[in-house]
Structure 1
Amino acid sequence: MDDETVRAGTESLWAALGGDPAAPGRVVYGGPPGLLAARLPVMDLARAAVAVCALAAAEHAGAAGPVRVDDGAVATAFVSERHLRVDGRAPVSFAPLSRFWRAADGWVRTHANYPHHKAALLGALGAADSVEAVAAAIGGRPAREVESLVYGAGGLAVALRTPEEWAASEQGRAVAARPPLTRERLDGAAPRARAGRPPRVLDLTRVIAGPVATRTLALLGADVLRIDPPGSPELPDQHADTDVGKRTAALDLDRPSDRRTFDELLDAADVLVTGYRPGALDRFGLDRPGLVTARLSAWGDYGPWAGRRGFDSLVQAATGIAALEGSAAEPGALPAQALDHGTGYLLAAAVLRSLTEQEREGGTRLVRVALAQTGHWLTGTLPRSPAASADGSYDPGRYLTETEGPLGRLRHARSPVAYAYEGGPAGWSRPPGVAGADAPAWVTA
């Protein structure tokens, strides 16, 4: 890892965001080296994604000073879910059935953290709820047969592929043909007049990437309201980690009264961020003139996998990343859920750039990002180089903070997004509350 490589990556992403070509020259890199070491240039991805997010934040705030990227802050934030503590308790990460399994001809990666995905996995395999039963059910079948069977039942399973197999696939070719993100102006709607109030962000995302983006927007002063279906809140530890700075409410969009409330929220919103699979929310008519809409997906809204659900670990398995990071004996993984976190900061950057342009020029704006697209940028754009050795100066404690709130005493990672000007981002205005307990209304004061 070297500054020239990172600067080239930052310039590439900033160009995709349509920013001033001179802006990346204001980024100052520093901090302990050798973090997030991997065969792939994960730390370069992380630094560049945070850098462009900070540049977009500074631009939106009208700040012309330097942008700071501290490697320690970046590395800590990219594994924020591991640093979380709730009253001293470490978080629950992957469920027992979310893992790699040996199939008859290779490996399969499953994701069963959510109850409905676990039920679909077990139903598709006809297996009991145990590691031994699932191992037996998968072990007797070809990997791609398991993938098709489980996805067909509404579950999540992906056969391990090599980079060459992914590149030769129809979905791999569709991903490779596109930039790391896209932004479009859809019409000539008038600029939004906010009269000094903060941007209103309606958050319809789950898991990590989308919530990281909206968590960052909340850090930067946006009024972020997350909406989840009643009875289906975010997993508790993910809520504690990624919903800091936000308010959260529950609405059933199939209930007429809740739908009216949601439509009123959307009418008054400046930004809508969605993280459901492409097309899943189309029936609710989410288009509004002058709105910045940001769509996050796992595989992109193109190609034969456009309608598939997915998570970081599954994208790593399908795109060849897990094969590259593994060995002949078993698949591996990146040192962080870097596709999630990296895409989250890119998504926040794209929203901020689109907000800046909308306020100046008007227009309804559309942003699209995908975990697979970020994975392709990692594997196909950034040059690989031997990982540097850590110099021993990295202390994650420097990049952690504690807050007291409705969920108890929380320890969480500070944001790595930083730029130098009076009033720049210092921390979130509020800890996460009880999931779904806030009123579905915008802040008026």
Structure 2
Amino acid sequence: MTDIEFAWSALGGDPALPARVSTVVRQGTLPARLPVRELARASVGACALAAAELGARRAGLAEVPRVRLDDGAVATAFTSERHLLVDGRAPVTFAPLSRFWRTADGWVRAHANYPHHRERLLRALGLPDDPAAVGAALAERSALEVEETVYAAGGLAVAARTPAEWAAHEQAAALARRPLVETERLDSARARVLPPLTGSPLLPAAGLRVLDLTRVIAGPVATRTLALLGADVLRLDSPRLPELPDQHADTGFGKRSATLDLAVGRRTFEELLAAADVVVTGYRPGALDRFGLSAGELTGRRPGLVVAQLSAWGAYGPWAGRRGFDSLVQAATGIAAVEGSHGHPGVLPAQALDHGTGYLLAAAVLRALTEQSSEGYGRVVRLSLARTVAWLTDGIEPGEGGSGGPPRSWLAETDSPIGRLRYALPPVSFDGGPGDWARPPGRWGADPAGWA
């Protein structure tokens, strides 16, 4: 079974359809010890195939359109945050404290890009905002002690483990019992009748409303992809948790962005939910439950809804409620050890867990919509970065090299409300489908909290 066939099977797709996928293979893309190129290719391919399948159903096509993958386009998209330019300025990626730190017995990886995470990290360690002071203090403490101390204070730092150490961890054991893509039926809603599609390009998600409650790459990549495919995507953020401007610019294509305090704007949220077709959440499991936003409560109020849930560590096990990011998951699960050298931990050539899981999440939503059109039922789909790790490290074989012709640019430029942007074009491609987003990103929180 090829990697795309495995991903497609995990999504519950027709096993005959991966034959409609072709790939332009390019050597040297996403170089790593682990098969990152293959993960990227398979996750984008499964997403494009899910889009083509839904588009064929809605347009009444006799055949599912052919999908064409290009390693160059996929690799560029997986590093989209590095290619972004805003009025010629390169983006800010990691803050000074977001890095590996040597400890008395190994390494920890800290994440402090957001101001509130930086403050919690420093408060937990009792240190000033001074990298030299942080380095000196951590060098005298054990990695596990730092991990527990920082997490207890609501901050983010994990001990860098070996693959064997992660395999022996209770969280790894909990994930091993779960599939790559989890799906569950939640209600008995009738089959969804989607209006037929006409015209060009073929937009499989046209007319669908997606409520985007995600942050930080993986979730926004999924909803950015749904927006590419024609969905009306409205991202909602708390006004008390501002987004990083460059991160918003990179993942905001095709969407609108609004702020809403759920504690005081509940009526507005319920009005949005009543007209939504899909809700995508990217907060740690249970974080939204206090607002009545669990999958069961959402579908109870909006039968037939598709709920897509994304987390760092998974919805089960002792780390289910922990915050996490791609860089931290790489460190904790042994990827950093595999990719490291000379005793120093390394990283993947892209935030591949974020991007790969994001495309799989979009694919899961598209497949749920296709199945709903004949079977009905409200549904929840769940994915996690840590479960994607297991697929990368244990389930993907490195592919063969090759070349599919001369490379071309997979970058484009456009004007936007935040300036002139250079950006990575979408890698999701199928016959008749869109080649770019219909709109550039706007300013964070600048749109009204209402459907277009």
SS of the residue 1:294 aligns to: strand
What one-letter code is carried by the residue in structure 2 that aligns with 1:213?
Answer: A
| Structure 1 position 219 matched with structure 2 position 228 | yes
Whole-Å separation in 2 of the counterparts to 1:273 and 1:115? 25
Which residue is equivalent to 1:60? 54
Whole-Å separation in 1 of the counterparts to 2:97 and 2:406? 37
Whole-Å separation in 1 of the counterparts to 2:12 and 2:195? 26
Whole-Å separation in 2 of the counterparts to 1:225 and 1:345? 18
Aligned-pair CA distance for 1:384: 4.5
| Structure 1 position 417 matched with structure 2 position 428 | yes
Aligned-pair CA distance for 1:32: 2.5
Pick the aligned partner of 2:287 from 272, 280, 290: 280
Which residue is equivalent to 1:151? 151
Checking the alignment, whether the CA contact within 8 Å between 2:194 and 2:373 is kept in structure 1 is: no
What one-letter code is carried by the residue in structure 2 that aligns with 1:151?
Answer: Y
Aligned-pair CA distance for 1:285: 1.9
Aligned-pair CA distance for 1:194: 5.2
Checking the alignment, whether the CA contact within 8 Å between 1:50 and 1:416 is kept in structure 2 is: yes
Whole-Å separation in 2 of the counterparts to 1:14 and 1:31? 20
Which residue is equivalent to 2:30? 36
| Structure 1 position 369 matched with structure 2 position 383 | yes
Aligned-pair CA distance for 1:231: 3.7
Aligned-pair CA distance for 1:393: 5.2
Which residue is equivalent to 1:115? 115
Checking the alignment, whether the CA contact within 8 Å between 1:200 and 1:222 is kept in structure 2 is: yes
| Structure 1 position 138 matched with structure 2 position 138 | yes
Cα deviations by residue, 1:210-256 (Å, 9 ceiling, x for unpaired): 0000000000000000000114222100100001100000000011x
Which residue is equivalent to 1:4? none
TM-aligned CA distance change 1:12 to 1:135, over 3 Å? same
Whole-Å separation in 2 of the counterparts to 1:327 and 1:391? 32
Percent of residue pairs identical: 66
| Structure 1 position 303 matched with structure 2 position 303 | no
Checking the alignment, whether the CA contact within 8 Å between 2:213 and 2:281 is kept in structure 1 is: yes
Checking the alignment, whether the CA contact within 8 Å between 2:26 and 2:401 is kept in structure 1 is: no
Cα deviations by residue, 1:68-127 (Å, 9 ceiling, x for unpaired): 001100000000000000000000010000000000100000000000000000000011
Q: Which runs of 5+ in 1 are unaligned?
A: 1-6
Normalised by the size of structure 1, how large is the TM-score?
Answer: 0.94
Checking the alignment, whether the CA contact within 8 Å between 1:210 and 1:275 is kept in structure 2 is: yes
Pick the aligned partner of 2:257 from 210, 235, 248: 248
Aligned-pair CA distance for 1:33: 2.1
Cα deviations by residue, 1:2-41 (Å, 9 ceiling, x for unpaired): xxxxx61111111110000000000010043220010000
Aligned-pair CA distance for 1:434: 1.0
Which residue is equivalent to 2:338? 324
Q: Which runs of 5+ in 2 are unaligned?
A: 197-205
Cα deviations by residue, 1:258-280 (Å, 9 ceiling, x for unpaired): 11001110111000000000000
What one-letter code is carried by the residue in structure 2 that aligns with 1:93?
Answer: T
Which residue is equivalent to 2:272? 265
What one-letter code is carried by the residue in structure 2 that aligns with 1:363?
Answer: Y
SS of the residue 1:419 aligns to: coil
Aligned-pair CA distance for 1:370: 0.1
Aligned-pair CA distance for 1:190: 1.8
What one-letter code is carried by the residue in structure 2 that aligns with 1:377?
Answer: W
Which residue is equivalent to 2:348? 334
What one-letter code is carried by the residue in structure 2 that aligns with 1:48?
Answer: A
TM-aligned CA distance change 1:392 to 1:187, over 3 Å? closer
Which residue is equivalent to 1:20? 14
Pick the aligned partner of 1:441 from 429, 435, 450: 450
Normalised by the size of structure 2, how large is the TM-score?
Answer: 0.92
Aligned-pair CA distance for 1:145: 0.1
Checking the alignment, whether the CA contact within 8 Å between 2:25 and 2:404 is kept in structure 1 is: no
SS of the residue 2:90 aligns to: coil
Equivalent runs, 1:197-216 vs 2, <5 Å:
198-216=207-225
Checking the alignment, whether the CA contact within 8 Å between 1:34 and 1:389 is kept in structure 2 is: no
Whole-Å separation in 1 of the counterparts to 2:364 and 2:404? 34
CA RMSD of aligned residues (A): 1.6
Checking the alignment, whether the CA contact within 8 Å between 2:25 and 2:403 is kept in structure 1 is: no
